[in-house]
Amino acid sequence: MQTISAVYAYTFKEHIRHKAWLSGALFGLVLLGGALIVSALGQDERGRLMLDLGLAAIEAISLVSIVFLTVNLILVEIESRAIYLILSHPVRRADYLLGRFLGTVAAVALGMAVMAAMHAALLGLYGWWEPGRYLAALGCMLGKTAVMGALSLLLSLALTSEAAAMAFAVFLWLLGHFSSEMRFLADRSGSAFLKTALVAFSHAAPDFAHFNYRDFWHQPAPSADWLMWAALYALAYTAACLALAVQVFEQKEF
Amino acid sequence: MNAIRFQKVSKIYRRSHLGRTTETPGLVELDLDIPKGEVFGLLGLNGSGKTTAIKLLMGLHLPTTGEVETLGRRAPDVAVLARIGYAPEAAYLNKTLTGRENLSLFAALSGIAGAQRERRVTEMLVKVGLDKAMDKRLSEYSKGMLQRASLAQALVHDPELVILDEPVTGLDPLAIKEVRALILWLKSKGKTVLFSSHDISEVERVCDRIGILSGGRLVKVMTQDEWRGKADALETAFAAAVVRTDGVGPIRME
């Protein structure tokens, strides 16, 4: 546990000192631009548009950050050879990987929290204040972020090329929004090969329908069951990706 | 009792490209025992297998055949790394951290508990002369300061076996003198020291025994009696034993 927390702490510090503030600055610009655009609209429309724009920007910035950071997370340490010194101490590779992953997710989550605080303050000015639904939406984004982080980490270790890992991560992210459509197509398909491929892709890619907070946006709040399943799915998918990543990492020589 | 034992150890590097696999021998049937308390020097040209042998000891590489033992445990063994200190040929440290944070990280990874850690870290930074720069980031350190920080991480957990990969390469004469004094101090404390070097004059000043590697093979082992008081004995033996394998010819002066 001491090993995981030590690796977690230095990873978190590393991200904060490097570039984490950039996401807040970028989001500030998006909000400023959005506020200028919607200033001509009526009070109700302003609030709704700022809500949609803000949540979409938080999600996009967080996903880009997590994919970029996790793809580079281990490859950069291998390239700089800093990994020699870490692994020449009594550190299990699984602990190192978990600490690095958690530190990165925590740094991105901090960025999300900063962006959400700025966004919530602006929404407050427009008279929109529903913390329950807003927090549930942020929770869904965090689940998606953790899943994409674990998947990108696995891809970076399996492919050992930043560009290829990023391209595959984006491809799987896109597929993840069409899981039910892929299964529907598989049911309708006459070709056994296509059916197998579609079913395989629909299971390998994350199913982001579990995190679609827009499903409950017009209800008072999401049900506890829905939230629990979303959390369980995020945990299970993340754990599976990390377990595979550990298997790949254990075979590596430096 | 041996601190280090190589038993018929070979390491073959295999690289595949476009379906063609090339094999390069890193080490060939290395048999070597280094008893506890000895200072042993590995001498050899670039690509002779010095770093490969060290990486096998640290579990960063796995042998293709044969067995490697460190402090009585078969490598790779994560637990035994708590009793080994390793400084690579360059200071592969995370430059975003301060000197203190960096050493505290390695102390934590080595299993030193929180209360004792701070004291140990400060003591070690004083010992390597970095106490005045301990709160500066490593990105602000000079090469000599980074080398000291690297030595500090190798010694912070008071290891029984210290492995130094080319510790004097690129250092100024004063720093070389200090590293020499450090190795002799470690010997006086009963530690086993293995270090690799190109520098024959350094090796002959501090080693009890040396091994000459050429093309991955251990071609000669000499004891102190064979070179002490005999001018150029080690250099002559080295020149006679090694063969260039890097495809570089001699400098011609006609």
pLDDT digits (tens, 9 = 90+) for B230-252: 878 888 888 888 877 666 777 78
CB A143 within 8 Å of CB A231: yes
Residues B221, B232: Cα–Cα separation, whole Å: 16
- Residue from B84, B96, B109 to probe the interface with A (highest A Cβ count within 10 Å): B109
Nearest chain B residue to A17 by CA: give it. B96
B112 Cβ contact partners less than 8 Å away, ≥ 6 residues apart:
B120, B156, B157
The residue range of the domain holding A177 is: 2-250
- Across-strand partners of A211? none
% of chain A exceeding 90 in pLDDT: 46
User: In Å, how far from its chain's centre is CA B4?
Assistant: 13
CB B147 within 8 Å of CB B91: yes
pLDDT of residue A180: 84
CA distance B244 to chain A (A): 25
Strands B217-223 and B209-214: antiparallel
**Mean pLDDT in residue range B217-241:** 87
Residues B5, B121: Cα–Cα separation, whole Å: 31
Q: Is the pLDDT of residue A160 over 80?
A: no
Q: Is the pLDDT of residue B65 over 70?
A: yes
Nearest chain B residue to A9 by CA: give it. B105
A252 touches chain B (CB under 8 A): no
Percent helix, percent strand, percent coil in chain B, to nearest 5: 35, 30, 35
pLDDT of residue B192: 96
- Number of domains composing chain A: 1
Question: Looking at the partner chain, which of A2, A92, A253 has a beta carbon nearest the beta carbon of B78?
Answer: A92
Question: Looking at the partner chain, which of A17, A88, A253 has a beta carbon nearest the beta carbon of B81?
Answer: A88
**Mean pLDDT in residue range A159-177:** 90
Contact A85 B82 (CB under 8 A): no
Q: Is the pLDDT of residue A181 over 90?
A: no
- Number of domains composing chain B: 1
Residues A81, B107: Cα–Cα separation, whole Å: 19
> Which comes out higher in pLDDT, residue B201 or B250?
B201
Contact A82 B108 (CB under 8 A): no
* ipTM of the complex in this document: 0.87
Strands B65-70 and B2-17: antiparallel
CB B83 within 8 Å of CB B159: yes
Contact A90 B110 (CB under 8 A): yes
Q: What is the pTM of this model?
A: 0.88
Q: What DSSP letter does each residue of A92-107 carry, written as one string? A: -HHHHHHHHHHHHHHH
**Mean pLDDT in residue range B137-161:** 92
**Mean pLDDT in residue range B92-112:** 93
Model confidence at B228, in pLDDT bands (50, 70, 90)? confident
- In the block, tokens 């500030």 appear at A28
pLDDT digits (tens, 9 = 90+) for A29-39: 777 777 777 76
The residue range of the domain holding B152 is: 93-159
Least confident segment among A16-25, A60-69, A121-130: A16-25
Query: Strand, coil or helix: what is B209?
Result: strand
- Across-strand partners of B209? B40, B223
**Mean pLDDT in residue range A115-139:** 86
pLDDT of residue A151: 96
pLDDT of residue A20: 60
> Which comes out higher in pLDDT, residue A219 or A132?
A132
Contact B82 A10 (CB under 8 A): no
Residues B2, B192: Cα–Cα separation, whole Å: 10
